[in-house]
Amino acid sequence: MSKSAPTTSLCRYTDTEIFYRDRNLVDELLTGDSDFVTVMMQHILGRDVPPGQKRVMNAILITMMEHGLTPSAIATRSIYMSAPENLQGAVAAGLLAVGSQFVGTIENNARLLAELVDLEGDAQAARAAGIVREHRARKAHLPGFGHHLHKPDDPRALRLLEIGEAECETPRYLTALRTLSAAVDAEFQRHITINATGATAALLGDMDIPVELMRGFAVISRAAGLVAHIAEEQRKPSGRFIWETIDKAMPFES
Amino acid sequence: MSKSAPTTSLCRYTDTEIFYRDRNLVDELLTGDSDFVTVMMQHILGRDVPPGQKRVMNAILITMMEHGLTPSAIATRSIYMSAPENLQGAVAAGLLAVGSQFVGTIENNARLLAELVDLEGDAQAARAAGIVREHRARKAHLPGFGHHLHKPDDPRALRLLEIGEAECETPRYLTALRTLSAAVDAEFQRHITINATGATAALLGDMDIPVELMRGFAVISRAAGLVAHIAEEQRKPSGRFIWETIDKAMPFES
Amino acid sequence: MSKSAPTTSLCRYTDTEIFYRDRNLVDELLTGDSDFVTVMMQHILGRDVPPGQKRVMNAILITMMEHGLTPSAIATRSIYMSAPENLQGAVAAGLLAVGSQFVGTIENNARLLAELVDLEGDAQAARAAGIVREHRARKAHLPGFGHHLHKPDDPRALRLLEIGEAECETPRYLTALRTLSAAVDAEFQRHITINATGATAALLGDMDIPVELMRGFAVISRAAGLVAHIAEEQRKPSGRFIWETIDKAMPFES
Amino acid sequence: MSKSAPTTSLCRYTDTEIFYRDRNLVDELLTGDSDFVTVMMQHILGRDVPPGQKRVMNAILITMMEHGLTPSAIATRSIYMSAPENLQGAVAAGLLAVGSQFVGTIENNARLLAELVDLEGDAQAARAAGIVREHRARKAHLPGFGHHLHKPDDPRALRLLEIGEAECETPRYLTALRTLSAAVDAEFQRHITINATGATAALLGDMDIPVELMRGFAVISRAAGLVAHIAEEQRKPSGRFIWETIDKAMPFES
């Protein structure tokens, strides 16, 4: 066994008081203008959150909340139909889609940007060009770029970058992303969009959020989106339709 | 198969635009002062949200986010230790705790209040007294009342009621909860606290949120709290300590 | 805190030995003819398992393993597409479908049978008739009877009953199910099939498996079925097809 | 959209018949001596299963089923306490632990063995020595070797290898594992145990099971083990004890 017990800095309570980190929940956090996103950021990150970062986080959470009948939403609706008494199970099922194929690309892009942020000017541009050529040479997808639907530009990405550049005091990751984007366009001789996950990676990086925590914010945002799908399912059920549609659409072949 | 396909009102998109319900995501929702909680409420509830309701929802989400090393947090930390590459799995595991024993009491309390809200004055008081006596007679716990730790009053409940009463224009559920509370104290001849789930039930009821959707907001809030536990786990791991502590604490008995 | 710690009877180990309950894993359970289903039953139920019960359990597990592109399988395939690095998440998502709408009817049927098993002959028949009339009067579905597809008889149910009647020494639940079935046919003046969940409830009941544990065997069996869906997904991916099919089939309506 | 719909080979059904792949469920699989493990293997692997492979699979499933109060079992018990109405959620939570830190090492070991199986004699020994030296040089754990508890030998691994060598006609992976083990002992000048995951990797490899499907069998086996923990929880609840123990053991530190 470990020599000494690990500790927690998240919460303590007595009969009459509850603290989130060092703040009294009732007296300091549940005030007239209390704001969930600010409290959540302070709680997760363990530091005060400047107003600009709060605005950026709101934009990120709104953007990642919803994209229609995705695999995540289909899973949630299928499970909700089967076990409507367990709403949390339907949300949990859908959240399990926050993996490598969609949201995980945030992390992959952030890792690329981390290779660039300590360089400046020509050195950064040269390293970015190298990254792009190296991906192209092995025919690898460059995370954070391209979108199968939103062309020539992902409208969400443009707005997120705009918000980030307005709010961020020292936009190191944003600058690195712009540099990488220029290298992409130069290498392919045409404009390829920065996508929403690419923009999100830069914004989270500029808030000093560790790469391995980044998808956590997608999970929170997506939880809200999936509750909306369940609310719709309660009024306009689609679970049986999804079942019958797929069962018919995929024939048996021995 | 159903005659006609179900429809969705949540999202549509083209190459250049994305809509959440009838609002353009980029132009209408990702504005300088965009607010995740407001967008989320509009999206889930399908209606505009008055500022007072937004303040109440922020208070609810903050309150349900965290309560230390609960079974939910223990599950999340145990899974995160085993599969740190799948942050979403650790959150999903913890969210599965949002069931009957803790959060589900919100719904049970809301159903009691629903029996009272259409009554007034003496009729409401009489029905409330009947509900309390009936629960006492079968030694059933009255959902929304009492707390094993926070006595004589749950400080969160008092503040939530205060916020609700300040913000809510027609506090029908809040009034019913106060009536029920008076009946509880009269029947047991001592003060028993309204707890946080009781207060939450009344606040959600007064926002016309259907009972079967109520726990969805606990799921969203708790997702944020569990991400905080994972962030702490990344810096101060406790998963192996939890394992060894429980493995030692529970002896084998044939 | 509880006065004394709870204990576990499931497993103990030293540097050189591992025990499942009171049996040495290596010396007693991993023998040449070791059988997972038998070991699993002994481990879950904490008692020896007669050969007839082993045969019945094999039949139940095989029957509940698969039924094509169900909501459970659709959820698993959707999650697997999104996070293929996380096979266990895809299975977990699909297992969350083992809820009230399908498998939960096993428990509801078992509870009805439990009302009948202590009665005999005419008294049992009278109580069964009462149960059927009472369900019909409130237009409630009678759990364990009817199938939207398999008519006039669910072939799985017939075979399971046959196996159960061959293997079970004192078929109290099976007899009660036959009595209930006769009451159903008499009340509705036509034959309504016992379905697979009804037959399963009786077989599990006659093995003295508690109602609240019954769905656990569906979970184990379904886990195997969902791994088969993932194996197929690895060779013939359908996740993107499911996504695109549903996204097209459910139009936006504001 | 894809040109043509994907197909499924797993299941088809009519009003009166159900087929698992090409076999009639009732007539061919639910026979007197029907065996879940055999049917499951045929269903997942899409081929007939020789008796020796069935015996090996039973041994593997039994071995991976249980190891006491692991993080997986702690998560299941914590969730079951919170939502006992939702047994499948408690199992799903525990299964999410089947990730990189424990079971995932099966896959890592299988990948090493795959580098060796096509070599013979001295060439295989030389490559094995190279793999060991390379891991040692970067102080990386060699997957499949060593156990923090079971020393000098993991008794499960020895028995699994014994069973595999008795049943397997062309033990290519088993031979490669023996070669790797010899290289480990030579490099470190002492005996280091092959562990249960190492042995399992070799046995699954010699059944031609793809690496990316291997953890699926751990999921099935562990599902059974977690149902046993829930059955014990129903008779001797530990969920609240786990909560209180951990809450006390991990102090708050600001």
Lowest mean pLDDT of B38-47, B150-159, B184-193, D113-122, name the range: B150-159
Interface check D157 vs B, CB under 8 A: no
- Could you list the residue range(s) of the whole structural domain that residue C211 is in? 50-243
Where residue A218 sits, what CATH number does that domain have?
A: 1.10.230.10
Predicted pLDDT of residue A1 = 44
Number of compact structural domains in chain C: 1
Determine contact, residues B194/B161, Cβ cutoff 8 Å. yes
Kindly state whether residue A85 falls inside one of the protein's structural domains. yes
In a domain, D150, yes or no: yes
Interstrand relation of C18-20 and A11-13 (parallel, antiparallel or unpaired): unpaired
Task: In whole angstroms, give the CA distance from residue C157 to residue D30.
Answer: 11
Q: List pLDDT tens digits, range B224-233.
A: 999 999 999 9
Residue D191 predicted with pLDDT over 60: yes
Partner residue opposite A22 with nearest CB, options D8, D86, D254: D254
Q: How many beta carbons lie within 10 A of that of residue C226, not counting itself?
A: 32
Whether residues C238 and A250 touch (CB distance < 8 A) is answered with yes
Collect all residues of chain B within an 8 Å Cβ-Cβ radius of residue D97.
78-79, 82-83
pLDDT for the residue numbered C1 = 44
Nearest CB among C8, C88, C253 relative to B7 is that of C253
CB contact under 8 A, C100 and A90: no
Q: Which segments of chain C have a pLDDT < 50?
A: 1-2
Segment A224-228 mean pLDDT: 98
Q: Do A17 and B96 touch (CB under 8 A)?
A: no
How do residues C195-241 score in pLDDT, each as one tens digit? Answer: 999 999 999 999 999 999 999 999 999 999 999 999 999 999 999 99
Dump pLDDT digits (tens) for A56-107.
Answer: 999 999 999 999 999 999 999 999 999 999 999 999 999 999 999 989 999 9
Quick check: B140 and B179 in contact, CB under 8 A?
no
pLDDT recorded at residue D155? 94
Pair D117, D221: CB distance under 8 Å: no
Residue A15's pLDDT is: 85
B37 domain residue, yes or no: no
Quote the radius of gyration of chain C (alpha carbons, Å): 21
H/E segment holding residue B137 = helix B121-137
D17 touches chain A (CB under 8 A): no
List chains adjacent to chain C, taking adjacency as at least 3 C-beta pairs closer than 8 Å.
A, B, D
Give the confidence band of B3 by pLDDT, cuts at 50, 70, 90: low
In a domain? residue B35? no
Contact A85 C92 (CB under 8 A): no
Q: List, for residues B131-190, the tens digit of each pLDDT value.
A: 999 999 999 999 999 988 888 899 999 999 999 999 998 999 999 999 999 999 999 999
**CB contact A92 to C (< 8 Å):** yes
SS3 at position B19: strand
Return the pLDDT at B2: 47
Q: Which residues of B touch A223 (CB under 8 A)?
A: 95, 219-220, 223
Residue of D nearest to C210 (CA): D231
The chain D residue lying nearest A89, using CA atoms, is D89
Grouping H, G, I as helix, E, B as strand and the rest as coil, residue D11 is: strand
Residue A169 in any domain: the answer is yes
Q: Which chains touch D (3 or more CB pairs under 8 A)?
A: A, B, C
Between CA B165 and CA B171 the distance in angstroms is 7
Is residue C40 situated within a structural domain? no
Q: Is residue C176 part of a domain?
A: yes
Q: Give kind and range of the element (H or E) at residue C63.
A: helix C51-64
pLDDT tens figures, B79-138: 999 999 999 999 999 999 999 998 989 999 999 999 999 999 999 999 999 999 999 999
Best A17, A21, A36, A86 member to test B by mutation, with max B CBs in 10 Å, is A36
Place of tokens 């980044």: A214
Distances from the Cα of A146 to the Cαs of A73, A157, B15, C48, D70, in angstroms?
A: 23, 11, 13, 60, 43
Which pLDDT belongs to residue C2? Answer: 47
What residue of A is the nearest CA neighbor of C239? A71
Find chain B residues with C-beta within 8 A of A91's C-beta: 95, 216, 219
Average pLDDT over residues A19-26: 97
CB D53 within 8 A of CB D41: yes
How far from the centroid of its chain's Cα atoms is residue D85's Cα? 29
Q: Is residue C9 part of a domain?
A: no
Residue C3: the pLDDT is 60
- Please determine, for residue D122, whether its predicted confidence score (pLDDT) is greater than 90: yes
Instruction: List residues bridging with C19 in a β-sheet.
Output: C12, C24
Cβ-defined contact of D242 to B246 (cutoff 8 Å): yes
Counting as contact any 3 or more CB pairs under 8 A, the partners of A are B, C, D
